[in-house]
Structure formats: structure tokens, C-alpha cells
Structure 1
């Protein structure tokens, strides 16, 4: 052993209880160290007495075995799997806490006496002109979200009513009203004037409506789906037949090519309008039988044109995602509650669902992890209907004879209150009727 190493060991023993040991680079034998790293290990492994004495002395001085330095004392624990869900949860937590607060209470609550408690109807829609339409028994009321003014658009006679569906046209001025007697009325909301009645197509109530430019599609309890061209006298131009029971949900894709329809027969159909023939029944592109209850909730993804989200009723309670080109199920999430409606955010990869029994709540999800970002409670019975504001930030939900406005997807940048501005109180209660 070199004199430098013996000196430092003796010096360290003397000072071990007084101060920490700081090595002196000038006292290190780098040539010897380099030799031991490159060539010394090749020598005969039989230890000499001097080497054994040295190792024993090192144990006594440092209280450790050199062979265990930088080695695991036990088998290293298995790493905690970092799933996509966890990554997205962390990301959602950071992003959403940095960018916005998700209110847990509705911003506004409106009383809606006479709201029909029927899961298969569609009685609420928010138009491009920022006006909400809601059907209460035989009447349709309009609530201007900008001015908070309420007006009655129409009251239907008992032999035609009640109103079973409402849907704003893309222009935000005209509205379609489906009736219990199988007719559809078109109204000019600005002039409060009925423009025409569409009949001779269905044989029973119209529970669902959807627009595709000038094409108004209606779904009925008679299980048929009809495309109506509202510009022409002979308005029935295509009929889709495939459902066995009431059609309770229909949605056109943003491109206007594909139609998704869901029914009380637990079936989900995808229809390709390019395959439609004039005045003929059209074969579906996909028939999907994975849901175990009525399929009412349908929402086309705004950032992935070939993806559709669907939600099932009480015996299913699942949100499923579909590739409509192949018909494959991309994911399925058990929500634990009846799904009545689905809406996508237009600004973030988020999805909100409304629920009936047993939870009666709205749930905000992060896509694609489907981690819950927020649960919004307030309704005292099942949430039957849900629609989205024109700017896509707010949603309206209806159930328990109330209409509630929720700031789910954030606030537009140009309307965000400054830090100095006190927030407006949440619980405004107005009476529609």
C-alpha cells in the first residue's frame, strides 16, 4: 500500500469524529488506480495475505463491504406502472388548474314546469343566434341567453301535441318542431310565424330531429328515419329503415355525409348518404349491436372526423367510441349511470355527458384517457336533455322541471373577467312559465 494511502487512512481515523473527510487529489495515486481498472483485474484471483488484511481493515474503518457499493441491497422494486390514464390525469390537473376553474354549481337555473319526463324525446336545443328553445307540454318557449328575455313561440292544440322534439336550423332563425301526431312544423322564430307543416311521412310521434343544411331528418316511434328537403313541396326524399323500435337519437356528421341513429332497440346505425337512392329504403353502412340499452346519446368528434361517441341507457350505462369507417369500437367506458346526452368541446379534447338514474349529474371527461375532470350536481332527478351554446363553452341541461346553465368548457378569452372584477353570483333563478 502506498505511503499516501496509509497517511490518508490514518488521518481519517483521527478526524472521523471531528469533521467529514475531504479527499486530497494530490494524495491520490492515479497511475495505480488506472492500472487496477484496466489490467489489475486480470491478475490471479487468489488473494495474498496483505490483500486480505487490507480488505479486513477497510471493513473495520468504513463499516461496509466494498463489493456492495452501488448495488441493490435487495431486488429493486418493480416500477409503478405509469398508465396513459395517469399521464392524462396529471396533464388534465395541471392544464385545467392553470387555465380555468370548473364551477361545480350551475351559473343560472330556470324553472320549467311541464317539462315531460320522457327519456326518448329531445325537447331542448340551443341555436346559432344564442337562443334556447325548450318544449313544455304543448308549448315551445324561447330564452335569449344574451338578454335573458323569455317568450312563447307557439302553443300546439291538444289533438296534435304534446311537442316531442325541437331542433334549430343552421341559420339560428328557423326551428323545427316535432309533434305527437307524426307531423313536423317549421317556424320562423323572428316573425313568430309558421312556415309549413311536413306530414305524410311518419305514422307516429317524432322524437328526434337533426339538420343537414336544407335537409331536415326526423326519427319516429314508427322506427323509420326520413330525410325531408324543406325547399320543395315533395319533401320526403329518402327513408332509412333498420331500427325495430323508436328512433330516439339522430346526428349528422359535420361533413354532412354520415348519419348516426340510435334507437330503443339498443341498435346504433351509421348511414352513408352517398349510398342513398331517391325514395328508396337505404341499407346501413354499419349496424352496431354492442349497447345493451336504448342508444340516445350521440356526438361526432370535432377533431377526428371518423369518430363517433355513443351512450347507452339504464341497462348499459356505457360511453363507446367508434371508427365509423370500419365500425370498430375504439373504447368503452362504464359510467355507472344512464347516459342521456353527449357533447364534445370545440376547443379542447374534452367530453361532457349527462346522466339519469342513479346519479342525475353531468360529468366532464378528459379524452382519450376518459379520466373524470369534474362531476356537476344540482339536478334532483335524471338529466334528460342537454345542448351546447353557439360558442361551445357553456352547456344547458334540463330535468326535474329545471333548466340549468353550466360553464363546463371554460370562458371565451374576450369575456373572461379580470382579477379585479368580482365574479357574478351563480344561483340566478328565473321562471320560464
Structure 2
């Protein structure tokens, strides 16, 4: 008979529907047992548990390994049977449960999309992407495609990122926009000068750009103003108002200053005349976040949050004549990174945002794409080297690094890591050796990327000596 009893007990344990009495008791059972022990009645404690006693026959299987969890603290409901408590799972500590924060369904959908978007972007249609963007704006107040911090609620903590806040002049001054101020840092002396201080409390610097000669600085603001400052006299020369919203991108071509705004419009300003607004370019449906004139002044490149890259002619006149030469829609993310090749003025490099991550090379004369590379991270800015056939790109998630690329095959030369958040903007020193990067981690870093070509350096020194000798005579 003993073997049948043993087999029956094993079957009961495997079914998980038989009561277990030789495991740890629940807190309410222990209290009842202690109260009954004080009155000398041990039998009552066994009855209050509501469990049928198991037989006391010796067993080779140790049933005490199956632990019954205790009741959740703070609740006074009638205790459940051991069968129900086993379904809930064993808590990490006796007498308590792990705390699990409450998340609503909408927030969990956004979190799931952020986690999975890196892997399935290529399978999504443009219609689905626009739908997800609309949902995100309605639910969270920001676009999850541009989110860099996984947050379950509220608006993003970081400042607007589609801005161009640093530029390096030919006179070796680095202009930096911080809040409602613009600071100048002289790379040789190390002196720092406060040049601009906006008066409005809600206003802030949205873009800065040096004229080619380096003596004038253009400043775009959140309120839509475009200011021109004389650095030597530390005086504002002009305050040009034509936009109604922030100006996040600026670029010079001789006396023409072009400004891109949040409405998607680009304005040409002739800084020599009173009626400065001479042309309007309408080719973007969202904010213009990248704007660059070619070195020869023949073409203007503009990138927008609408994922469109436009190349415009240098023709100035009425709005009917201002239409793009080429419109490229290959990028699947915001096009903030635009840069012209310094030694071949018809070659343009562009980079896409989080949903795209590609760097592409274009021929402005033919409108063809020369090459492309998947960088596997958001492309925020691009600068070309003036000494070598290379360029540098700044990136966001996940490495927040700078990458040096070989032109034209776009092979990776080196990676420069140091920023703890996305690289917002890049600037190249006037001698072409140093790259400055500003990050969302609120740091500015200086990188010695390129050495001066010895042969070119000797040639420059020889020319300077010749000029000096001629001047003395």
C-alpha cells in the first residue's frame, strides 16, 4: 500500500492543486498560530488555515522546495488559497511584492515604437510614418523619430535641436550661441567676448553665420529677426525683420544673406539696401534646418524637416522665377547636414536624420547621386576638409561620435568619441586643421583632425617671405 500512497502524493504535487502544509506559512496564518499558541490551542491554528492536512507518511520527495508567497502588504482582504497565490509568482522578499509602475496603453505604444524603429524603418511606408508622427505629436507633444531620451510622459527636456549655433570665421573667431547670448572665442589668444544679448526673456539665438571675410556676423533669433553685427566695433548694424517665426539657418554669398525659417520659407536679404528682402524661396513644407551657399556662389542647398533636399540657382528676382533646380527625396529623415565640397564646388554632401542615417553625395550640375553610405546613426552635421580629400560628420544615437570619411568612396578613416549626447553642429577652423563640435551634453570639444600639408606650408611661407622682402625694398 505504501507505494500507492507515495504515487498519489507525487501526482498531487505535479497537478499543483493539492494543499501544502510543510512550506512557509502566510503572515495571517502565522499570526493566527501565535494567538492560538498563547491560549494553548494548537489544533485551532491548523483549522483556521482552511487547508486540508496532508498525510504524515515519510516521503523521499521534499515538498518544502515549493514556496507559497506571502500576502501583499497593506491589503486586508480575505486571504486566498495557496493555489491562487502560486499563480501570482514568488516575491523577491518575504512579505512584499516588487513595485511595478503603472503605464497607460498609449505610453507603452510610444515606448515600443522607439525601441523597434531602428530595425523596421525600411519596411514602413511614408503614409505609416506620417501617421505615427501625428500620433506622437498628439500624445506626447513631440516627434518620437527625433526623440533621444526615452521618456514615458511629458515634453522633451532638451532645447530645440534643429539649429546652427556655432561658426568659425576667417579671422579665427568662434561664434557660439547660448540661450539669448552670442559669445566669441578667439582661438589664438583664448579671449572670450559677449557680443550679443537679446532682450526678450522668451527669445533665444537660433543660428549664427560669418560672412566670408570674417568681419560681420549674422544672427537669427527665435522671434524671426535677422541681425548683422560688426565684430570689430561690437555694434549691431542691421535688424532685418521679414520672417514671423524662428530663423534656424543662415548662409552668406557675398552681400546676399539667406535665412531659412520654421515656416519652410527662405528669404534673400541684400544687406546693402534699405529694402533688404529681395526674394523668397518656397520649396519646403516644414522648417528649414540646413542652408549652405556653394563656394562659387552659383547654387544654394537647403534641407528641411520634411526630408527634402533642394538645390536653388543664384537668380534673384520675383517669386515666380525662384524655383529649385533639383529636388531630392531620397532621404527618409530630416536633412540638417548639408555641405559643399571646397575644391569642387558642384559636389554637395547631405546627411539624413534618425529615420534615414545616410550620407549622400550629389552633383549639382547633373542632379545625380554619386555615392551613399549607411552610417547607422543620425547625421547631424558635415564639414569638408580643405587640406585632404576627406570630410567629417557628426552623429547622434547611439555613439554620438564624429566620423572622418574618405572621398569619394566614403570609406571610414577614423571615429572620434567623447560627447555623451548627440552632436548638434560642427565648424572648421580657418587653417583647415581643427574641427569644433557642440553637443546636446552642453559641451564644446576641439578636435585636431587634419595636419597641414608640409609642401603647401612651405609654399605659403615662401610666398610670405617674398611679400615681406618686396615690402622692405
TM-score bucket (shorter structure): 0.5 to 0.7
Residue 174 of structure 1: CA displacement? 1.0
Give the distance between the partners of 2:244 and 2:395, measured in 1 at CA: 30
- In the alignment, which residue of structure 2 is the partner of 1:270? 311
Is 1:129 paired with 2:129? no
Q: Deviations over 1:197-250 (max 9, x none)?
A: 000x21210000000011000000011001100000000111100100000001
Partner of 1:340, secondary structure, is strand
Partner of 1:405, secondary structure, is strand
- In the alignment, which residue of structure 2 is the partner of 1:316? 356
Give the distance between the partners of 1:148 and 1:169, measured in 2 at CA: 22
Is 1:225 paired with 2:266? yes
Give the distance between the partners of 1:370 and 1:261, measured in 2 at CA: 22
Contact 1:217 1:228 in 2 (8 A): yes
Partner of 2:300, secondary structure, is strand
- In the alignment, which residue of structure 2 is the partner of 1:294? 334
* 2:287 aligns with one of 218, 221, 246: 246
Residue 390 of structure 1: CA displacement? 0.7
Is 1:190 paired with 2:213? no
TM-score (norm 1): 0.67
Q: Aligned ranges for residues 8-407 of structure 1 at < 5 Å?
A: 117-159=159-201, 161-199=203-241, 201-274=242-315, 276-278=316-318, 280=320, 282-399=322-439, 400-407=441-448
Partner of 1:368, secondary structure, is coil
Which one has the bigger strand percentage? Answer: 1
Residue 278 of structure 1: CA displacement? 3.5
TM-score (norm 2): 0.61
Alignment length (residue pairs): 300
Question: RCO higher in 1 or 2 (8 Å CA, sep ≥ 6)?
Answer: 1
Query: How much is the aligned-residue C-alpha RMSD, in angstroms?
Result: 1.8
Which one has the bigger helix percentage? Answer: 2
Partner of 1:295, secondary structure, is coil
Give the distance between the partners of 1:316 and 1:367, measured in 2 at CA: 21
Residue 262 of structure 1: CA displacement? 0.2
